[in-house]
Structure 1
């Protein structure tokens, strides 16, 4: 690392600004090998702590650089390790909350790009958004790149709707690219806290789609877990030479012989074809536990509000 990060941090602390030229210099210095290590990520976050004016260029750099370390700093690449998730939460957390939009955007982008993350990372990100809605304070309420609003506590801004949608449907974390029960329960809490408030127009649609996805979404497309991906990568690395020799020898035999040899080595007949449409139809039908869960939330206050009515109508159409 050729750039003097400590000196840049002291300068940023003095004037509270980091220029576009300084961001460009940091980009050139941080990526000569295409990787970001933990000391570099720590230094970048230290600068973010003292920069009071966070430009779009700086936020983009912070998200890309620290996100590169979080996602690809350990093997297998693309999966967030438990210790990395703990490091990121500890590094960003200030008395149980985030201090800036840049930090929240970093969390959201990691969740969107990750092939898998510990559930607590998504839970932490959602807790920051929920707290902002309930208290009216937090990074989602600041004016700036995320389009924060100025609504009062107990109302939901357009920016918060966008962030919630990005996080609950992110590929990393619990029930990847789908809504988990914990997330559906969080949507109900937000709904109850914001009834009658001047919420963003998108909020009802997000609530209905989010809870509806938990109750009716297809769950058959789960990706590899981090442990399974690491095992597969280790196997391929250990056996790559032997497999290459095997396929080289097989290329010298005829097509039918090749197919027969492959069956001998890797197993017998054709795998049964999955009934994806049947799986989706089965997942769309509410089970008894799901119906009990939904009834409990709708009947909790003794009345059915407009968002719950919209949810019931959506489920009936499915």
Structure 2
């Protein structure tokens, strides 16, 4: 940490405010080389805790700087370790909940940019949004409480970033746990002054769990590091391999192999897997029926979901 960075952070912390000019100075003195170290990251969290008002300039800087610290700190890049998750959660849950919109935006960026996250970090992020919706209190409510349970545009946007990210539980799709969370939020906010985006998010999220196919499969950090080392190898044998791969792409033969690491999966097999995933199974149908029958009524969002599923079935 440079002397200038420390002085700027301490002054802003004492004042409880930070100007756009001070944010720019922090960028130049602490992030001039595009890297933030642990001491600087801790200092930014402390500063964020003490700010009375968090300006857009500050939120952008905080999210970018801490996000890059977490994302680049993995081995390989984008794989968040258990130790990193421990550090991040210790900074976020000082009293059991996220206190600022800057921290929620930080989680959104990490979800979008990382390839693998510890499950407890994902669960923590989703729990924060659900708690805000259920209680009516939290950073997405601008410090105020809204009468009656409802879900806001900010909460819809964050939920979409969390559940549809490749770092999420469904690896780019929506997991059963996430679909069940959407149903809990739906039940709690029926009749509320909900954001216009909520119906589409609910329908698309639950339908994704029931019908979506994803060929993406998470790999371990160790396997990812091996692949990264392979791609960074500039020896002649690697160059020859990449040359052959480029030729295969050029003549179209490479396109006949579908699925990373699953050599020999034909286009017909791939299409069959997609078709099978798009069909709602008996177990999924029973799950959905139980959710709909849970309160003894068919509400407007459930009707919208059933219409969407029927249309998808017709198209298939």
TM-score class, shorter-chain normalisation, is 0.7 to 0.9
- 1:3, distance to aligned residue in structure 2 (A): 4.0
- 1:153, distance to aligned residue in structure 2 (A): 4.2
1:159 maps onto 2:177 in alignment: no
Q: Which residue of 2 is the match for residue 39 of structure 1? A: 39
Paired with 1:272 and 1:142, the residues of 2 have a C-alpha distance of 51
- 1:102, distance to aligned residue in structure 2 (A): 0.5
SS of structure 1 residue aligned to 2:168: coil
Paired with 2:267 and 2:241, the residues of 1 have a C-alpha distance of 28
Paired with 2:188 and 2:265, the residues of 1 have a C-alpha distance of 48
Q: Which residue of 1 is the match for residue 310 of structure 2? A: 316
Indicate which of 287, 291, 301 corresponds to 2:295. Answer: 301
1:119-173: CA deviations, max 9, x gaps?
2222111111111110000111117xxxxx8633411112211111111111212
Show the 5 A alignment for 1:94-133. Answer: 94-133=94-133
CA contact (8 A) 1:79 1:116 kept: yes
- 1:50, distance to aligned residue in structure 2 (A): 1.0
Show the 5 A alignment for 1:211-290. Answer: 211-234=206-229, 240-241=234-235, 243-244=237-238, 271-275=264-268, 276-290=270-284
Q: Which residue of 2 is the match for residue 259 of structure 1? A: none
For these two proteins, the number of residue pairs brought into alignment is 294
CA contact (8 A) 1:111 1:173 kept: yes
Show the 5 A alignment for 1:61-210. Answer: 61-142=61-142, 151-210=146-205
- 1:34, distance to aligned residue in structure 2 (A): 2.6
Paired with 2:283 and 2:55, the residues of 1 have a C-alpha distance of 48
- 1:271, distance to aligned residue in structure 2 (A): 2.7
CA contact (8 A) 1:180 1:214 kept: yes
The alignment's TM-score, normalised by the length of structure 1, stands at 0.85
CA contact (8 A) 1:5 1:43 kept: no
Paired with 1:2 and 1:167, the residues of 2 have a C-alpha distance of 35
Distance 1:185 1:240, change over 3 A: same
- 1:110, distance to aligned residue in structure 2 (A): 0.8
Paired with 2:234 and 2:302, the residues of 1 have a C-alpha distance of 55
If you compute each CA radius of gyration, which structure gives the higher value, 1 or 2?
1
Distance 1:243 1:157, change over 3 A: same
Q: Is there any run of 5+ residues in structure 2 with no aligned partner, and where?
A: 248-262
Distance 1:66 1:314, change over 3 A: same
Distance 1:306 1:25, change over 3 A: same
CA contact (8 A) 2:8 2:26 kept: no
Give the aligned CA root-mean-square deviation in angstroms: 2.4
Paired with 1:245 and 1:61, the residues of 2 have a C-alpha distance of 39
- 1:30, distance to aligned residue in structure 2 (A): 2.2
Q: Which residue of 1 is the match for residue 14 of structure 2? A: 14
1:221-268: CA deviations, max 9, x gaps?
33544332123234556x6546358669x99xxx9xxxxxxxxxxxxx
Q: Which residue of 2 is the match for residue 258 of structure 1? A: none
Paired with 1:246 and 1:281, the residues of 2 have a C-alpha distance of 37
CA contact (8 A) 2:75 2:221 kept: no
- 1:214, distance to aligned residue in structure 2 (A): 0.5
